[in-house]
């Protein structure tokens, strides 16, 4: 039977990505990675990514070898090398076989002064080095209450993705993370999340055209856990999750992968 083009166009493999933040020593990270590999290392219906802190990233990468679980970093500098004390670059991440990098997480924006412009520089550098950005955006509680969620998200998307080509766009992963839902236990309702995800998809269509925009995975992040994941993941434009707290234990992270695999 010939493939149905409509079906192919809208099928996006779900992603479950763990953002470990500033948690896990190298040894603890290896143990967690081994547990994840043992449970879902052969998983191919869902793309599974873990993003350890820099001190654990190389050892975790070794623990992932031979499995389908991918390795991501939580940040990087936009330059390839040089006098930037305390920073790491895209080529350094590529050299330890990282495939993804989280960029512009709200904690980086809030505590470390990252802006749409600096995130954009990093994103272009990541793409140039064949690293897939997990590009984070999202509004604060004050912005949501002021009714400016969509405007805030639009600015972040347009500025963050400036200079990205139509060909590069499908390799970008967008993570919509309402700041008020991160680490708070307050998850966005499925309607709130789907509304913003659909809006982001619309922006991507305007920027890159329909074909490229339909390939971009848009993850939800913010207190996603096994109990609320199935409903969120069933939404048309929610293509996975960027997981903080629930990624620190193999059991809950694996349950999220299983939940993503179960969505048809
Ligand atoms: P959380 O974090 O799942 O702990 O809310 C998500 C994130 O910040 O990426």
The predicted pLDDT at position 2 comes to 52
Question: Of 218, 245, 253, which is best to mutate to test ligand 1, by the most ligand atoms within 8 angstroms of its C-beta?
Answer: 245
The predicted pLDDT at position 11 comes to 86
The predicted pLDDT at position 10 comes to 60
- Give the three-class secondary structure for 202: helix
Report the CATH number that the domain containing residue 258 is assigned in CATH: 3.20.20.70
Listed residue (186, 145, 175) closest to 238, CA to CA: 175
User: What distance in angstroms lies between residue 209's CA and the mean position of ligand 1's atoms?
Assistant: 30
Tokens representing 263?
């969505």
pTM: 0.95
Question: Of 223, 229, 232, 240, which is best to mutate to test ligand 1, by the most ligand atoms within 8 angstroms of its C-beta?
Answer: 223
Q: What is the residue-level pLDDT of the chain in tens, covering all 264 positions?
A: 455 555 445 689 999 999 999 999 999 999 999 999 999 999 999 999 999 999 999 999 999 999 999 999 999 999 999 999 999 999 999 999 999 999 999 999 999 999 999 999 999 999 999 999 999 999 999 999 999 999 999 999 999 999 999 999 999 999 999 999 999 988 899 999 999 999 999 999 999 999 999 999 999 999 999 999 999 999 999 999 999 999 999 999 999 999 999 997
The predicted pLDDT at position 8 comes to 46
User: What distance in angstroms lies between residue 205's CA and the mean position of ligand 1's atoms?
Assistant: 27
User: What distance in angstroms lies between residue 250's CA and the mean position of ligand 1's atoms?
Assistant: 15
Give strand pairing partners of 186.
Answer: none
Give the structural domain span for 222. Answer: 5-262
For residue 102, give the ligand 1 atom closest to its CA.
9
User: What distance in angstroms lies between residue 97's CA and the mean position of ligand 1's atoms?
Assistant: 24
Active site residues: 105, 177
Q: Whose CA is nearest to atom 6 of ligand 1?
A: 244
Listed residue (125, 64, 68, 60) closest to 92, CA to CA: 125
* Contact in structure between 51 and 17 (CB atoms under 8 Å): yes
Split into its structural domains, the chain has a count of 1
Listed residue (22, 18, 179) closest to 102, CA to CA: 18
Residues within a 6 A CB radius of ligand 1: 19, 177, 182-183, 221-224, 242-246
């Amino acid at each position: 039977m010939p493939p149905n083009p409509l079906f192919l166009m809208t099928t996006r493999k779900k992603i479950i990505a763990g953002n470990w933040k500033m948690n896990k020593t190298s040894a603890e990270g290896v143990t967690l990675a081994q547990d994840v590999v043992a449970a879902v290392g052969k998983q191919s219906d869902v793309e599974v990514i873990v993003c350890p802190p820099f001190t654990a990233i190389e050892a975790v990468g070794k623990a992932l070898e031979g499995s389908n679980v991918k390795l991501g970093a939580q940040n990087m500098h936009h330059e390839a090398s040089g006098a930037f004390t305390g920073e790491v670059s895209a080529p350094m991440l590529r050299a330890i076989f990282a495939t993804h990098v989280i960029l512009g997480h709200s904690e980086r924006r809030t505590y470390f002064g990252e802006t749409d412009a600096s995130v954009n520089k990093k994103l272009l550098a990541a793409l140039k080095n064949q690293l897939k950005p997990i590009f984070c955006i999202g509004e604060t509680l004050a912005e949501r209450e002021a009714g400016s969620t969509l405007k805030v998200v639009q600015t972040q998307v347009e500025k963050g993705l400036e200079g990205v080509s139509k060909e590069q766009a499908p390799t970008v992963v967008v993570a919509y993370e309402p700041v008020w839902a991160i680490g708070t236990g307050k998850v966005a309702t499925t309607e709130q999340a789907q509304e913003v995800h659909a809006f982001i998809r619309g922006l991507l269509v305007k920027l890159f055209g329909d074909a490229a925009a339909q390939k971009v995975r848009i993850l939800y992040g913010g207190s996603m856990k096994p109990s609320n994941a199935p409903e969120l993941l069933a939404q048309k434009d929610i293509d996975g999750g960027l997981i903080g707290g629930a990624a620190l234990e193999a059991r809950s992270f694996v349950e999220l992968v299983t939940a993503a695999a179960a969505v048809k």
